[in-house]
Amino acid sequence: MGFLGYSGICIGCNSLRSPLLIREKDAADAATPEDLATMDTDITTLRESLPALKNSLKILMNKLNALRSEPTTSQLTAIVENLRAENRSKKEKLDAYKDGTVKMVTKDEIANVEKELKYWGARKKARRNGYLNLEGVLLEAFTKEQIEENIGCEIDYDA
């Protein structure tokens, strides 16, 4: 081992007082022209295959990212347990309907409720129109303040 970890021979210093190193020629560095031609061929082949390998890498990275975004086994186990619990509760409700412990609503009952809703909605609308007509007649004869004073309360006209 030479100066500062370099292999080679130190033959002195230059005018700037830094050591001059000469590297010894390694036997493995000696390559024949045939070896160099083979290496050039290998390099060309590798360069030609590089775009396909990059494309393959991109596809595989996309697949890996997709797999990473999927739920883990423990998450899947938790999801399955939640679904099983939901299924049990739904089965219990269904069993109650099958056994007859829960009364089913018939189409006639639904029709009767809708009929009553329509009737009472019309009654509410008629009362509202009657009130608005009465209020209009009273406002023609009196001011709002006079009406409130005569009946003894405040009226919310925006309601």
What does the mean pLDDT of the chain come to? 84
Q: How far is CA 119 from CA 72, 123, 131, 151, 154, in A?
A: 57, 6, 18, 31, 31
The rounded distance, in Å, linking the Cα atoms of 74 and 23 is 60
Is the confidence at residue 121, as pLDDT, over 90? yes
Domain boundaries, the chain: 1-29, 31-70, 72-103, 105-159
Q: Band of the pLDDT at 152, cuts 50, 70, 90?
A: confident
Is the confidence at residue 70, as pLDDT, over 50? yes
Judged by DSSP in three states, 157 sits in: coil
Q: Which of 3-7, 70-74, 101-105, 114-118 has the lowest mean pLDDT?
A: 3-7
Q: What is the mean pLDDT of residues 120-142?
A: 91
Is the confidence at residue 111, as pLDDT, over 60? yes
Q: How does DSSP assign 93-129, residue by residue?
A: HHHHHHHTSSPPPPHHHHHHHHHHHHHHHHHHHHHHH
The pLDDT value given to residue 149: 83
Q: Residue 25 is encoded by which pair of tokens?
A: 């020629």
Is the confidence at residue 147, as pLDDT, over 90? no
Q: Which of 21-30, 110-119, 141-150 has the lowest mean pLDDT?
A: 21-30
Q: Residue 49 is encoded by which pair of tokens?
A: 């295959």
How many percent of the chain have pLDDT more than 90? 48
Q: What is the mean pLDDT of residues 59-67?
A: 94
